[in-house]
Structure 1
Amino acid sequence: MVSDGSWRFDRMVDVQSDPYLLDHVVEGQPVFPAAYLVGLMTQSAHRVLPRCQVLGVRNVRFVQAARFKDRQALQFSVTAECVEPDRIAVGISSSMDPPRAGFPRIHRTHASGDVRMGERVEQPARFQRLDFSGASDYAELYRLPREIQHGPAFLAGLRYRRPAPDQLLAVVAPPGRSELGWQPDPDAPGWPATLLNAILHVAFSLGVLARERTVLPLELASGELHAIPRGEVQVFARRTAAEEGKQTFHVASWDTQGRPVALFRGFAVQEVP
Structure 2
Amino acid sequence: MNAFEPRLGDVVEEQDTLRFERSMDTRTDPYLLDHVVEGLPVFPAAYLVGLMTQAAHRMRPHLDVVGVRDVRFVQAARFRGDRALQLAVTAGPEETEPAGIPVVISSRMAPPRVGSPHILRTHGHGRVLLGAPEERAARFQRIDFSGAADYAELYALPREIRHGPAFLAGLRYQRPSPDQLLALVAPPGGPGRGWREDAAAPGWPSTLLNAILHVGFSLGVLSSARTLLPLELEAAELYAIPEGQVQVFARLKAVQGGRMALHVVSWDGQGRPVGVFRGFVLQEVP
Q: Same fold (TM over 0.5)?
A: yes
Cα offset, 1:148, TM superposition: 1.0
Identical columns (%): 66
CA distance, structure 2, for counterparts of residue 143 and residue 44 of structure 1: 36
Equivalent position SS for 1:22: helix
1:22 equivalent in alignment to 2:30: no
Counterpart in 2 of 1:272? 285
1:43 equivalent in alignment to 2:59: no
Counterpart in 1 of 2:7? none
Q: Deviations over 1:20-68 (max 9, x none)?
A: 1011111110000000000010000001111111010000000000000
The one-letter code of the counterpart of 1:210 is S
Q: Which has the higher mean CA deviation after the structures are superposed, 114-123 or 143-152?
A: 143-152
CA distance, structure 1, for counterparts of residue 152 and residue 100 of structure 2: 38
CA distance, structure 2, for counterparts of residue 141 and residue 2 of structure 1: 44
Residue pair 1:6, 1:81 contacting (<8 A) in 2 also: yes
1:2 equivalent in alignment to 2:13: yes
Which of 160, 171, 176 is residue 147 of structure 1 equivalent to? 160
CA distance, structure 2, for counterparts of residue 79 and residue 188 of structure 1: 16
Show the 5 A alignment for 1:214-233.
214-233=227-246
Cα offset, 1:2, TM superposition: 2.8
The one-letter code of the counterpart of 1:199 is I
Show the 5 A alignment for 1:86-101.
86-101=99-114
CA distance, structure 1, for counterparts of residue 147 and residue 39 of structure 2: 34
Equivalent position SS for 1:191: coil
Show the 5 A alignment for 1:184-263.
184-186=197-199, 188-263=201-276
CA distance, structure 2, for counterparts of residue 104 and residue 186 of structure 1: 38
Q: Which has the higher mean CA deviation after the structures are superposed, 152-161 or 37-46?
A: 152-161
- Structure 2 stretches of 5 or more lacking a match? 1-11
The one-letter code of the counterpart of 2:69 is R
Counterpart in 2 of 1:127? 140
The one-letter code of the counterpart of 2:176 is P
Equivalent position SS for 1:163: strand
> Kindly tell me: are residues 10 and 186 of structure 1, through their superposed partners in 2, closer, same or farther at Cα, counting changes over 3 Å?
closer
Equivalent position SS for 1:155: coil
- Structure 1 stretches of 5 or more lacking a match? none
The one-letter code of the counterpart of 1:254 is W
Cα offset, 1:146, TM superposition: 1.8
Equivalent position SS for 1:129: coil
TM-score when scaled to structure 2? 0.93
Residue pair 1:78, 1:91 contacting (<8 A) in 2 also: yes
Equivalent position SS for 1:85: coil
Counterpart in 1 of 2:174? 161
Counterpart in 2 of 1:34? 45
CA distance, structure 1, for counterparts of residue 178 and residue 199 of structure 2: 38
Residue pair 1:173, 1:231 contacting (<8 A) in 2 also: yes
| Greater percentage in helix | 1
Q: Which has the higher mean CA deviation after the structures are superposed, 193-202 or 148-157?
A: 148-157
TM-score when scaled to structure 1? 0.97
Q: Which has the higher mean CA deviation after the structures are superposed, 180-189 or 92-101?
A: 180-189
Show the 5 A alignment for 1:73-84.
73-83=84-94, 84=97
Aligned length: 273
Residue pair 1:225, 1:262 contacting (<8 A) in 2 also: yes
Equivalent position SS for 2:177: coil
The one-letter code of the counterpart of 1:28 is G
CA distance, structure 2, for counterparts of residue 239 and residue 269 of structure 1: 11
CA distance, structure 1, for counterparts of residue 86 and residue 201 of structure 2: 22
Counterpart in 2 of 1:67? 78
Which of 56, 61, 68 is residue 57 of structure 1 equivalent to? 68
Residue pair 1:143, 1:149 contacting (<8 A) in 2 also: no
